[in-house]
Amino acid sequence: MLRQSNQQRLLQKLSPQQIQLMKLLQIPTASLDERIQEELEDNPALENEAGSMDADQEYDLGDTNKADDDNYEQDGDEVELSNDTAEKVDLDDFLRHEDEGDRSYDYGDDYYGGDNDRQITPARVETNFHDYVLDQLGMLELDERMHIIAEQIIGSMDEDGYLRREITSLADDLAFGQNIETSPEEINGLILRIQQFDPPGICVWTLQECLLLQLRKMPDSKPLRNAITILEKYFNEFIKKHYDRIQKQLNLNDEDFKAVINIIIKLNPKPGSSFAVVNKAESYIIPDFFVFNNNGVLELSLNSKNAPELRVSEGYKEMMRAYERGQKKDKRQKEAVLFIKQKLDSAKWFIDAIKQRQHTLLHTMQAILDFQKEFFLTGDESALRPMILKDIAQLTLLDVSTVSRVANSKFVQTEYGTHKLKYFFSEALQLDNGEEVSTREVKMFLHDIISAEDKLKPLSDEHLTDMLVEKGYNIARRTVAKYREQLNIPVARLRKEL
């Protein structure tokens, strides 16, 4: 039986502004400028301080509760007018241009300084992997139909040079996308020809095919023939480093086997990766914070890119004043002034959000600095104290999620190197004597043990656990395995060397 009833409940819901503020807080310094440019393009009422403006007209970021002058109130419905008689903005003229539908926003040569003064930013020219392979198609002397098929094959390779589509799928793609009917034999024939292109090892489906293709292009020798045999017949044993089995099957002594291994390890498992374009954001690190040690006194500063000089557009505020001074206030003008006020509100909110972002970043980083003061003074990684997000949240009186957003993708530059903020967070591990140490210290000790081990007889996880327990670290074998994986260290069998 269906029934309708009224219920009154109190729910907490985030406003769009709060959601945008959280996203803004999470953005690293390297991406903040791009986000600000997007806002500047979207909101004409927001301007960069780079423009000419008197000091007494600046928008004051220091007082977020006060409008930037006496002529604009964010929360009020009315606009308080100024007695300045020098303001000369014709709102009717503004509306007339809007009605004309001119959206080109061509400011003319006066804005750009003339054609002779316009500067063209040079663009970096790069050849990616697919373009490099496509350029070699001219050597095959293909007709138009076969050229299209070859382009489809090359386009189906990933950035590492591997094919990610089966032959039957390639045939379907050509039939539906290019209206070309072909056979698997025809496609496979083209694939074999493309495999002869540079770099060696491309246009294959598996790592085994890639490595074998590279070996077959090398000058013939006995170690080379043995290498081909190993990858053809004992590939699984090779990748799992079951070297003893391979040596026994091929009847190779240690010296001959080393010669074979030296050939294989020089092969490129990702032949197309040498053409990969490095992501601009990943090619360098822009620190969000700077920590200086001034005779034992730690000084924290925020990257100046986090404090852009933004202001509310004077032109838009002038339009508001012109509307209030005007005698004729029709519907058209009221709609236009509502749009202007929305843009002004949005501009002021964005400036306040940037200011709040700066405050939250500094407040959170100062708490981390105080908590891990010994490390920032000495640079000793073992001096890092166990610290979780909740510890900083309690010190700053912020929510854990807010601290998490600050710590995400942020970097701090110290005299001992540049580190991610997440570098300073670690859980606690209790020693036999009851003292708590950071799990980072355990990982450091584990890394040192493995680095010093005999590579002919690597230490197993059980042996590593026993060594850590002897040092007083109360730790289980599965925890050792977890820390080893976090350090990107393989199991003992894969660490074995000849």
CATH, residue 187: 1.10.10.1330
| CATH number, position 476 | 1.10.10.60
Q: For residue 395, what pLDDT is reported?
A: 93
Mean pLDDT calculated for residue range 35-58: 68
For residue 242, give its domain range. Answer: 206-275
Of 150, 165, 261, nearest to 211 by C-alpha is 261
pLDDT at residue 81 is higher than 50: no
Helices and strands (DSSP H and E) totals, the chain:
23, 8
Number of domain units in the chain: 4
The answer to whether position 93 is within a domain reads: no
- Short-list 392, 383, 331, CA closest to 363: 392
Shared-domain flag, residues 435 and 417? no
**Is 9 a domain residue?**
no
Which is more confidently placed, 356 or 73? 356
Mean pLDDT, range 384-406, rounded to an integer:
91
- Report pLDDT for 99: 43
Are residues 316 and 404 both part of a single domain?
Answer: yes
Lowest-confidence pick of 112-116, 183-187, 355-359: 112-116
Q: Of the residues 155, 170, 205, which one is the last residue of a structural domain?
A: 205
In a domain, 156, yes or no: yes
Does the pLDDT of residue 319 top 80, yes or no? no
- For the chain, give the mean pLDDT: 79
Q: Does 109 reside within a domain?
A: no
Q: Are 170 and 187 in contact (CB under 8 A)?
A: yes
User: How far apart (Å, rounded) are the C-alpha atoms in residues 444 and 473?
Assistant: 12
Which amino acid is present at 17? Q
Quote the CA–CA distance of 486 and 498 in Å, as a whole number. 26
Q: Among 48-52, 91-95, 130-134, 293-297, name the one with the lowest average pLDDT.
A: 91-95
Q: Please check whether residues 498 and 417 belong to one and the same domain.
A: no
CB 357 within 8 A of CB 306: yes
CA distances from 132 to 128, 129, 197, 272, 296 (A): 6, 5, 10, 10, 55
Decide which of 233 and 283 is more confident: 233
Same structural domain for residues 201 and 287? no
Q: Residue 94's pLDDT is what?
A: 40
Phi, psi of 311 (to 5 degrees): -150, 160
Q: Are strands 428-430 and 417-420 parallel, antiparallel or unpaired?
A: unpaired
Residues 323 and 402 reside in one and the same domain: yes
Question: What is the percentage of the chain residues whose pLDDT exceeds 70?
Answer: 79
Tokens found for residue 141: 């002397």
Is residue 222 located within the same domain as residue 302?
Answer: no
150-159, 194-203, 437-446: range with lowest mean pLDDT? 437-446
- pLDDT per residue over 139-179, tens digit each? 888 899 999 999 999 999 998 999 988 999 999 999 998 89
Specify whether 201 is located in the same domain as 212.
no
DSSP state, 458?
P
Q: Is residue 5 part of a domain?
A: no
For the entire predicted model, the pTM comes to 0.56
CB 289 within 8 A of CB 365: yes
Residue 241 shares a structural domain with residue 195: no
Residue 374 has pLDDT above 80, yes or no: yes
Question: Taking CA 61 as the corner, what is the angle to CA 55 and CA 63, rounded to the nearest 5 degrees?
Answer: 110
Is residue 477 in a domain? yes
**Average pLDDT score over residue span 329-354:** 82
Alpha carbon distance 192, 133 (integer Å): 14
Whether residue 262 is contained in a domain is answered as yes
Considering the domain architecture, whether residues 228 and 297 belong to the same structural domain is answered as no
198, 214: one domain: no
Domain boundary among 205, 224, 244: 205
Q: Is residue 242 part of a domain?
A: yes
Residue whose token pair is 């050939």: 263
Instruction: Let me know whether 268 and 377 are in one domain.
Output: no
Rg (CA), the chain: 33
Q: Which long-range contacts (C-beta less than 8 Å, at least 24 apart) are formed by 337-345?
A: 337/91, 340/45, 340/316, 341/79, 343/43, 343/44, 343/45, 343/46, 343/316, 344/45, 344/72, 344/312, 344/313, 344/316, 344/317, 344/320, 345/74
Last residue of a domain, one of 275, 310, 335: 275
Q: Are residues 331 and 434 in the same domain?
A: no
Tokens of 175: 């039939």
Q: Which of 74-88, 138-152, 177-191, 357-371 has the lowest mean pLDDT?
A: 74-88
